[in-house]
């Protein structure tokens, strides 16, 4: 009974973590569209009656605003302003920093060393994982995601000999996890390449 309840709760949490961001994004989009309908109403009257002009124009306006914001934060001044705003508000939300790091790296924009793809030795097996941080004594904090939801999983602190960093794109590791392990052979090959590279460097030094 305990195992069944543990299974149900873990899968429920995984589902919530997957659905919640999508639901919140859709909710915010609809809320923004509703608030802008009054603004676009005069222009919607110019469109045919059979066309939902207010909804279409409000959606286009929201998307245009999002595009302009995205364009603005690409500039140096815009990025600095956003970082100040983010530190003063969003960084106070528990879990925001980790979620932001995950999403930015998923988009190929991550610049920090968090969420480095790796294979970790857990008991007698190799499991896909991500290096979150390196401790002062050489050990690693490792996040082992559950399948197929990469935002749910377990945290381990492992010695360096049990953690094998992989020189692969972050998205490749996520794809393997979300596809129930399909593509794991590429992760193992990446680990073997790193080992062979280190052996060659060691032989050259010797």
Residues 201 and 206: their CA atoms lie apart, in Å, by 9
Q: pLDDT per residue over 107-152, tens digit each?
A: 555 555 568 899 999 988 999 999 988 898 889 999 998 877 777 7
Residues 170 and 183: their CA atoms lie apart, in Å, by 13
pLDDT, mean over the chain:
78
Record the tokens describing residue 111, joined without a space.
């610049």
Percent of the chain with pLDDT over 70: 72
Q: Kindly tell me if the per-residue pLDDT of 96 is higher than 80.
A: no
Question: Domain 116-205 carries which CATH code?
Answer: 2.30.30.140
Please report, for the chain, the start and end positions of each structural domain, with discontinuous segments joined by +: 2-92, 116-205
């Amino acid at each position: 009974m305990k195992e069944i309840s543990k299974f149900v709760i873990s899968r429920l949490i995984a589902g919530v973590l997957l659905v919640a961001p999508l639901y919140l994004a859709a909710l915010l989009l609809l809320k923004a569209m509703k608030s802008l309908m009054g603004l676009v109403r005069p222009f919607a009257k110019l469109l045919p009656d059979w066309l939902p002009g207010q909804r279409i124009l409000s959606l286009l306006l929201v998307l245009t605003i999002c595009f302009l914001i995205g364009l603005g934060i690409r500039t140096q001044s815009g990025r600095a302003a956003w970082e100040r705003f983010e530190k003063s508000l969003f960084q106070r939300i528990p879990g925001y920093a980790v979620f932001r790091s995950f999403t930015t790296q998923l988009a190929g924009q991550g610049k920090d060393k968090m969420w480095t793809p790796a294979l970790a030795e857990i008991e007698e097996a190799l499991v896909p994982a991500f290096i979150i941080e390196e401790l002062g004594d050489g050990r690693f904090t490792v996040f082992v995601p559950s399948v197929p939801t990469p935002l749910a999983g377990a945290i381990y602190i492992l010695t360096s000999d049990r953690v094998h960093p992989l020189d692969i794109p972050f998205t490749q590791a996520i794809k393997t996890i979300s596809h129930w392990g399909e593509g794991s052979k590429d992760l193992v090959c990446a680990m073997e390449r790193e080992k062979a590279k280190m052996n060659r460097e060691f032989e050259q030094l010797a």
